[in-house]
Structure 1
Amino acid sequence: MGVLSGNPKDEPMHYGEIFCVWQFSTVAKGALSCYQAYKNHAGDHELKNLLGDLIDQANNEIKECDKLLNDNGIAPAPLLPERPPVKLEDIPVGARFSDPEISAKISQDIALGLAACSQSIGVSVREDVIALFVKYHSLKLTAGAKALEMSKEKGWIIPPPLQVKRPEFVEA
């Protein structure tokens, strides 16, 4: 019986898995802080709801990843201080993030998170670690679809150049 042939939770994590989980937790802690600030800046109700969902998801990612790290004797990065709620009107206009800016940034974060989940799935050999990142990937797909739909509805999305007329090819 090999070292990786029992209960996955009893198997050691390899360095790639450790780094992926540690990095994911650390990035989630940074995202949590940013999303709390963005929620203070957001004026649109739907955007605030999406930010609330992303804050909840970041908290879950932190809790689960940090537990996995602690269970394997690895110290996670520290949490950042929680941001206090602020009234939108108290933020000066020139210092305020606009709703389209916030939407674009969270869409970028979701896209990067999907790539990170895919990489972590590919690196991992423990089934429980793979399952964790498959779950996160699925949740990020759902959040990304909500963000895209909202950005389209609100007119916030800036599409890349569109090919309206296709060139005609001449057969020789």
Structure 2
Amino acid sequence: MSNPFEAVWKTLKSMVDIEPKSPLHVGEVMSFWTYLTVLDEAIRYEEVGLNTTTDDEVKELLVDAKKLCESQSQRLSNFMQKEGIPLPPGPKKKPKSEPQEVPLGVKFTDDEIANGVSLKIATAGIECALGNSQSIRTDVGLIWIELYTEMLTFGATTKSLLRKRGWIKVPPYYTPTGLTKS
């Protein structure tokens, strides 16, 4: 038996299939272009991280992040090509290297790598929300919801690792004037 969310999702998708499809407008196209660029840059960052870390938890985070970004990039590229949208040029794949061979002065720390992944998740979430707010076509809106939901879910996992390792960046706490401190 599928869960209720999957059932609702399938119902929404079936309704979209019968909706007439207007051409994408420039805002929708720009959002796809920008998001695909964000994903491709994130994949290269994750490759660099895998080339420099020796921490098993950070490696696992990077492998999972890369899989998610590659999956989203592939699905989005397929949709864009189907719609006749030219794809943005992406950066070249990074060759594999051994972390011990990378000089200390040029490699990120595990803290920097994990927080970089977190920042890229936040950027992707913002781009998804922007893309969704600009979408007119229902199928496009559903694409943004799906991408955002995946990033949000992965972000929760990332936040857990950052908290566990003491790497999470927390702004100063705010106490309004007149409120007693406990």
TM-score bracket, normalised by the shorter chain, equals 0.7 to 0.9
Tell me how far 1:80 sits from its aligned partner: 2.4
Q: 1:9–1:128: 8 Å Cα contact kept in structure 2?
A: no
1:128 to 139, 150, 164: 139
Q: 1:38–1:102: 8 Å Cα contact kept in structure 2?
A: yes
Distance 1:155 1:10, change over 3 A: same
Write out per-residue CA displacement over residues 34-72 of structure 1, whole angstroms, 9 at most, x where no aligned residue.
Answer: 111111112221111111111111111221221122112
Kindly report which structure 2 residues correspond to 1:79-118, keeping only aligned pairs within 5 A, or say none. 79-118=90-129
Q: 2:39–2:69: 8 Å Cα contact kept in structure 1?
A: yes
1:76 to 87, 96, 101: 87
1:49 to 60, 81, 94: 60
The match for 1:18 is 29
Residue identity matched to 1:39 = L
Distance 1:65 1:159, change over 3 A: same
Write out per-residue CA displacement over residues 67-98 of structure 1, whole angstroms, 9 at most, x where no aligned residue.
Answer: 12211222101332211221110111111100
Residue identity matched to 1:82 = K
Tell me how far 1:120 sits from its aligned partner: 0.8
Kindly report which structure 2 residues correspond to 1:19-38, keeping only aligned pairs within 5 A, or say none. 19-38=30-49
Tell me how far 1:10 sits from its aligned partner: 3.9
Distance 2:17 2:169 in 1: 50
The match for 2:5 is none
Distance 1:18 1:125 in 2: 11
TM-score by length of 1: 0.86
Distance 1:66 1:105 in 2: 24
Mind listing any 5+ residue stretches in structure 1 that lack a counterpart? none
CA RMSD of aligned residues (A): 2.2
Identity %: 25
Residue identity matched to 1:145 = A
Distance 2:71 2:84 in 1: 20
Distance 2:65 2:76 in 1: 16
Distance 1:169 1:101 in 2: 35
